[in-house]
Structure formats: structure tokens, C-alpha cells
Amino acid sequence: MAAVDNLPSIRQMLDDWDAQQAAEAAGIKYVRKPFVIEAPPPIDAAAATRIAKANRMESERGTAAAHSMDRERRQTRLGQLEGTWVADCSVSRSWFGGGSPTQVAQAKTTEYRVGPNPRSIQDSNGTYEVDYTEYTGGSCDPAGGGYNAKAFAKYNMQGTIMYQGMGVAPDFSNCYQAEWTTTQSTWTFPSDATTEPQVTRLLSILNTHCPCAHSHTGPTEWKAGLAGTRTVHNSDCRRDDITDQSFILCGIIGGLPTYALYQYLPNSEAQQYQSSSLSFARQDGWYNQPSSRPRSRLPHSDAHDSNDCVLAMPIQCGTKSGTLSDAANYCDGCTQLECTGCIYRYIENDKDAPGSPQATWSYCCPCIYYMAREFPWMAVEC
């Protein structure tokens, strides 16, 4: 498996389940092996340096921003992840569909929050949220459809992270050990005909082995399509049904602790990181090299007062027509953390934005909150 922000595909989970069932039928103890996640593009060291410099310059503007930057530096010294992180949008086959030829735009955004009084990395707790959404536009370019096309499928996972210090093996001494536990998750499985057989089998396994039907509100059965969207708390699942030999997705949804490593990219000044494949056993999860697609930290200006969107800013940021107005129309219909990533990626692809993506994100933050008067979902962390 991979850390909760980089899960193996449904196809890989089903193949693992088939191998486990075959081993049990033959009376052989099944040993789960780490998954090979599709290799990300080579790390661009120059880009990492540019992102770090831009984030540092933008975060140092103003008293609130300086305070935010100081906090980030303190957490970085402890190795803790904090803030909002985005991976580049990509176009590929559906994560849910595996063998489907359908090309979908894939967008993932992650947010980490640190506990109130961390004294050391070993004493620290925090929370995380991971939002992954697929769109039928088949393009990451706003002009090609992308996010404002029909949402194909998605998941949103929230939970706790415990930091467990530096890697103990020599090969992982520059990595950090962590434990992720999902406490709540929301799932929308695709109903598109090209993925129907695989999704149908997946839903059958979930309904049989982890129906998680103890909730007294909302759906109590796994179904495909937008109408079948379901939010599950790990307390909705029978603890006796969830073990480290469970179907992988059952273990994650049911709240089994998962273990993995992460590391900051060289030359990124802790503004980019990668995570490793994970395991339900720490002796496995903490001995896998981080290899996920890099996540980049968004600068936080903390400039959330809409009254500060003054002078030339509304024109430069495009509150009536232009960057932010177009982003509002483009991302309308998003949910949860998806909205943060959608607005930023729109800015990133907008050639008419007033500056670099990092600069626009920070400079236009008050105007994003001005737009939130009409579009409440635009009140994002910027």
C-alpha cells in the first residue's frame, strides 16, 4: 500500500485480495507485499528550489504571514507536516476503474494540522484530510473541461497522524516515521459503464466484509454513483470484522492504524514531500522508500479579511471578470478540501493571473474571501 495520500489502485487491492483468498484456500499463510505504485516523474530540483523561494518570499509578507511562516519553520524542525499540499493534476485511467480506457483528470489535495503543544516529534499528534477527485473532462487545462466537467468519482479521508521520529534504518535516516488512522471517509464510486464490472465486485466485497452499517443517519449500504455517496465513521464498522488481514480498503475505512515514511525533497526547504508505501504493520511500513508523486505546500498568508481587497486588487485578481471570477465558475460544485486545490490549480493554469501561482494565491487571498461572500465554499486556507 501507500501512505493515505497515495493509495494503491482498486485493481491492485482486488489482485491482493485474490492472492490472499487463494493462499487461505491452499492452507498457506498469506504475507502481503508492498505495492509498486506507478513511478512519478523525475524530481525537478530547480523547480523545487523555485517553489521554496517563492513560498518563503510570499509567506514573509506582513505580520500575520510572518507569524504563519515562523510556525511552519518550528514544525519543520520537528519534522511535522503542516499546511495544505497539492500534487500536480494528471490525466490517466480511473483509479477506481483500473483497466478502463477512460481518461480522467485526477486532482489530489492534502491538509495537515499540528496538535496544540508539540514538545518533540514523538509527543506530537495532528490531523489530516486527503481529497481525491476524478473528472470526466479528460484534461487538466481549464480550456479542456477539467474540474467544471462532470465529477466522475472521489474520496475524502480524514483522520489522525502520530509522528514517530526519524527513520531507524541507515537507508531511511533522512525520513520521518508516522502513523495514519482514518476516522471518517466519504466515497463516491463511479457508475460509468466502462468501470462497472470492477466497481460492482468492489462494492460486493465492501458490503460483505465491511458494511459499516451501524450508523443511524445516512446510507448503510455501499452503492455506486453520486446517489450512493456515503460518509462513514470508523465507529460505524464492527471492530471484530476489521483486522490486518481484511480487504485493504476495509482496513483503512475501519480505522486500522497504517504506517509509512515520508521525506522532504532536497532543495525544497520543506516545501515539497513524498510518502512511501504503507502497511498495517510498522515493521514493514517504516522500511519502504518514499516514492509518491511530490506534494507542494501552498503558502499561507492568513489574510482572510475581505475588507482588505481594495484599490487595484479587485481588478488585478479579477473579482468581477478575470482570474477569481472565472475560478468561481470553474470550481462551483466542489466539496470540502477539493475547493482549495481547485482554486489554486485554476490560478496555476491561468495565463492572465497577476503573478506566479504562489504570489497570486497570497496576494489575492483577501479577494478570495471577498468572493466567498457570494460563494461560501471559496473561504479556503490561503
Domain termination residue (choose one: 253, 278, 297) = 297
Supply 178's cell numbers: 508516522
Q: Are residues 265 and 334 in the same domain?
A: no
% of the chain exceeding 70 in pLDDT: 80
Please tell me the predicted confidence (pLDDT) of residue 31.
Answer: 84
Q: Can you tell me the distance from the alpha carbon of 360 to that of 350, in angstroms, rounded to the nearest whole number? A: 10
Kind and range of the H or E run holding 233: strand 230-233
Residue 5 has pLDDT above 80, yes or no: no
Q: Are residues 292 and 335 in the same domain?
A: no
Q: Are residues 128 and 208 in the same domain?
A: yes
**Overall average pLDDT of the 8-14 stretch:** 87
Q: Are residues 280 and 311 in the same domain?
A: no
Residue of higher predicted confidence among 191 and 348: 348
Q: Is residue 4 part of a domain?
A: no
Q: Write out the DSSP string of 157-184.
A: EEEEEEEEEE-SSGGGTTSEEEEEEEEE
pLDDT tens column, 300-347: 888 999 999 999 999 999 999 889 999 998 888 888 899 999 999 999
Q: Are residues 267 and 333 in the same domain?
A: no
Q: Is residue 213 part of a domain?
A: yes
pLDDT tens column, 264-279: 998 888 899 999 887 8
Residue 364 has pLDDT above 50, yes or no: yes
Domain termination residue (choose one: 280, 297, 314) = 297
Mean pLDDT over all residues of the chain? Answer: 82
pLDDT tens column, 134-165: 887 777 877 655 555 567 789 999 999 998 88
Q: Is residue 188 part of a domain?
A: yes
Q: Are residues 164 and 252 in the same domain?
A: yes
Q: Are residues 187 and 312 in the same domain?
A: no
pLDDT tens column, 205-216: 999 999 998 776
The closest of 284, 93, 268, 283 to 192, measured between CA atoms, is: 93
**Overall average pLDDT of the 86-93 stretch:** 87
Number of domains in the chain: 2
Instruction: Give the count of beta carbons closer than 10 Å to the beta carbon of residue 279.
Output: 22
Q: What is the DSSP letter of 146?
A: G
Residue 195 has pLDDT above 50, yes or no: yes
pLDDT tens column, 23-56: 999 999 888 877 766 544 444 445 544 544 555 5
Kind and range of the H or E run holding 24: helix 10-25
Q: Are residues 208 and 117 in the same domain?
A: yes
Q: Are residues 331 and 270 in the same domain?
A: no
The predicted model scores a pTM of 0.85
Domain span holding position 332: 306-378
Q: Is residue 332 part of a domain?
A: yes
Q: Can you tell me the distance from the alpha carbon of 372 to that of 359, in angstroms, rounded to the nearest whole number? A: 20
Q: Is residue 157 part of a domain?
A: yes
Q: Are residues 125 and 196 in the same domain?
A: yes
Q: Can you tell me the distance from the alpha carbon of 202 to that of 215, in angstroms, rounded to the nearest whole number? A: 21
Domain termination residue (choose one: 246, 265, 297) = 297
Q: Are residues 115 and 149 in the same domain?
A: yes
% of the chain exceeding 90 in pLDDT: 42
Collect all residues with Cβ–Cβ distance below 8 Å to 265 and sequence separation of at least 6: 43, 48, 272, 273, 274, 294
**Overall average pLDDT of the 165-187 stretch:** 91
* Buried residues in 146-177 as b, exposed as e (16+ CB within 10 A): bbbeebbbbbbbbbbbbbbeebeeeebeebbb
